[in-house]
Every structure is written in C-alpha cells, then in structure tokens.
Amino acid sequence: MTTQGALRDDLLDPELNHDPWPFFARLREEDPVHYSPAHRAWIVTRYDDVVEALGHPALSSDRVRPLLDALTPENRAKAGGVMAQMAEWMVVTDPPAHTRLRRLATNAFHPRKVVAMEGRIRELVDGYLDSFIASGEQDLIAAFTFPLPATLISELIGAPSEDADRFKDWSNDLALVAFGAGGEGRDDRHALAERSIAEMFEYFGVLIEKARREPGEDMISDLIAGDGTEENLTDDEIRSMCALMLFAGHETTTTTITSAVKLLIDHPDQLELVRADPKLSGKAVEESLRVEGAIKILHRWVIEDFELRGKTIRKGDRVLVSPAAANRDPEKFPDPDRFLITRSPNAHVAFGKGVHACIGAMLARIEMRVAIARIVERLPGLRYAEGAAEPTWVPSLAARALTELRIEHDATL
Ligand code: HEM
C-alpha cells in the first residue's frame, strides 16, 4: 500500500471496532490483500478474493490445534481444557475429518425438518415479544434477541424447554472464550467456559441416553441414527456437535436480529416498506446480513504457499478473511454502503462460503424473518429509547455485535 505508514490497521482499535467501514473500503481499494503488522496476519477484503480464499485448500480451518500445541505449560493449565474441547468442533477441522462430521450432521438440518419448525418459531417469537412488551424492558437483546435463539437451539437439540435457561448461561460462557466477548479483563473466562463445557457434556450425555431409549424428532436422535453408513458419530462427537451448535447458532442470530432492528430504525423509509408489506422481512434480513453481518473476520492458517492477487502468502502465515468487507465491495454491490432492502441480487457471504458455509443458514433465516416481521408488526412507533446512548459494538476481532439496543414503541398487550 502506498500510504501504509499512515494506516492504522488494528481492527481492535476502538475507532475501527466502532466503524470499520472506511478502513475496509480503503483496503479494498488500495491493498486488497494486506499484510497487517498489528495482527501479524493478512487481511483479505475484496469479494472475489474472499470467495477464493474460503474455497482454497491451502487455507486451513484447523486453527485451534496449532494454538493448543503452542501453549506454554502455564497457559495450558489455564486454557488447555477448553481449547482441547473446541479443537474437536467441525468448524475447526479440515477434510477428510470435516467431510465426515459435516455429512453426519447434515441429516439434522434437512430442509423438510427446518421448514417444519416455522410454527414453533412463531410461537416462541410471539411469546418473547409478549414478555418484552409486558415487562416494559427497553433492551431488546436482554429480553428478546438473546433468549430466542438459545431456546430454539435447546429445542432443536432435544432438551426439555425448562432447561433453556441453562443453554443461555452455557452459551454466554463459551462466547467469552470463543469470541473474546467478555473482553480481556475476564481473567476467569477460561475457568467459566471449562466449567460450562463440563456441565454441558454431562447434560448431553443424559439426553443421548434418553434418545437411545426413545428416539424423537430432535437433533440428538438424528445424530445417533446417522446416515445409514457404518460411520456414525461417537457419543463424545455428538456432545461436541451439540456444543458447537449452541455456540455457532446463538450469538450470530442474536446479533443479526439486533442489527436488523437498528438498521430499520436508522432507515425509516425501509422500515415503512416492511410495515406496508411484511413479506419483505426476509429481504430486510438479507440486506442486514450484508450490511452488518454477524461475522467480521474468519481465521485461516496457511498450510502451503499460495498466491492471491500477486502476493505470495507463505505456509505458516495467518489470514483474516473478511466476509463483512466483501459484502460492501462496490464491484459486487452497487452503492454498497446503502441499506436497501429491495436490493437484488444480494449474494452476500455473511454465512461464509465453501465447505464450512453455515449449516444452520436456513434455520437462521426463518428465525430472523419471523422475528423481524413480528417486531415490525407488533411494535408500532419503533424508535430508540429516549435518552439512550448511541449504540456501541462489542470489542471483537471476529464478531460484529451490538452491546445493547434500547428501544421504545407504542405497543400494549
Ligand atoms: C445469522 C445467523 C448466523 C450467521 C451469520 C452464521 C455464520 C456462519 C459462518 C460465517 C460460518 C462459516 C465459518 C467458517 O467458515 O469458518 C458458519 C458455520 C457454521 N454455522 Fe452458522 N451462522 C448463523 C447461524 C447458525 C445457526 C442457527 C446454526 C445452528 C443451529 C449454525 C451452525 C453453524 C455450524 C455448525 C457451522 C460450521 C459448519 C462447518 O464447519 O461445516 N449457524 N456460520
């Protein structure tokens, strides 16, 4: 980059964390495959390059194990337990191990099953909106967008609904480590996550036993049944898969529904479009995923030298692939910073691309579409709460998540 000396490229810098968009625009324009001294990693920002990188065999997702291997004995004592569990998650494996895990998980997300969940999703959305309205609570995250996905995932997995609160707590503790969501100040975060993983594993063990005795329509029963080959998941792999689903499907969905509501409040003309035609809520969700998708950065390790846009990226380097930057690439999306719910086509990469592309995308889309349609329909006069501070974003390299969203409306029960 010609002006590299002047570039502040630490994505955790509070200003860049708050508003990364001018920085991403500059990288896309001037140095689309940029070596960042701050992160000691490459940052990839153009749409075509992001798609190529996410499909390239030289870029490995097996990124927890190398970190685990490199821990000092002291850090291993603190963080090794959680990291060893997370290293088993399919999202951090490469083919062929990934291919097997993904194939065996696919059954649980059969489109027929996911579509059949819409009625229950509506009930949950309306139930949480009832309590949100009745409580007079202002923070939409605390009362609605956080509990909703946790409850849905607990039901998807096959847990009794009265245990949904435990899923929320576990998810919180996992996010502290996996997303750094608690901030660096949380010295006890590895201990909390490790305790939660241990509790979860014990809990899922009981559910597995029950599903073996009485198979149901839930994910654990599907994972036990396998795909008819001899290669079924072991009980430990099923537990690990359930923990991954809770982690991968919770915060991302919370975040995207929250961001969508913020975007609609910020763009009253677009909010009016959805109010006039609730069928547009699906398109509003797609545009929110594009403009403020939940994932800013996906990490990859380089396992073989390769070239991208004339730069040689060496084995052992780290690459930060940015779906968020790709989703505002003007080469792909005209007027990319504009939130325009009728945008078509809208081939964003908020759910990733390649073999790891989100397995829960269809479920997330239904959940978010129903949530946005019902929020717009049931909360007339939707606006920021009086005196609410400007919304702030969780300090995070990987995630794009609001800390809270305080709103008011004119609804009564
Ligand atoms: C708005 C909501 C969501 C967003 C933005 C999102 C985004 C993503 C992205 C970007 C990836 C790719 C990760 C990578 O390449 O390293 C991914 C993978 C994954 N997602 Fe989602 N996700 C969402 C909802 C869900 C839900 C609801 C579930 C399940 C209940 C889920 C389960 C998973 C799993 C298991 C993977 C790993 C797939 C694999 O490794 O093959 N996600 N997601």
Sign of the C-alpha dihedral computed for residues 7, 10, 13 and 17 taken in this order:
positive
Amino acid at 302: V
Tell me how far the alpha carbon of residue 103 lies from the centroid of ligand 1, in angstroms: 15
Give the closest residue (by CA) to ligand 1 atom 39: 356
Check if 294 has its Cβ closer than 6 Å to any atom of ligand 1: yes
Check if 63 has its Cβ closer than 6 Å to any atom of ligand 1: no
Cα dist from 393 to 17, 265, 383, whole Å? 7, 17, 19
Q: What integer pLDDT is reported at residue 228 of this predicted model?
A: 81
Sorted by where each starts, the structural domains of the chain and their CATH numbers stand as 11-408 (1.10.630.10)
Q: What integer pLDDT is reported at residue 107 of this predicted model?
A: 86
Q: What integer pLDDT is reported at residue 188 of this predicted model?
A: 78
Give the closest residue (by CA) to ligand 1 atom 6: 351
Q: What integer pLDDT is reported at residue 153 of this predicted model?
A: 93
Query: From CA 97, how far away is CA 306, in angstroms rounded?
Result: 23
Q: What integer pLDDT is reported at residue 413 of this predicted model?
A: 80
| Pocket-testing residue among 319, 358, 362, 402, ligand 1, by greatest number of atoms within 8 A of Cβ | 358
Mean pLDDT for each consecutive 10-residue tract of the chain (413 residues)? 64 96 97 96 98 97 89 85 87 96 92 94 97 94 94 92 86 75 62 87 94 94 88 93 92 96 98 98 98 97 97 97 98 98 98 98 98 98 95 94 96 87
Biggest distance spanned by C-alpha atoms of the chain: 66
Q: What integer pLDDT is reported at residue 197 of this predicted model?
A: 87
Report the length, in residues, of the chain: 413
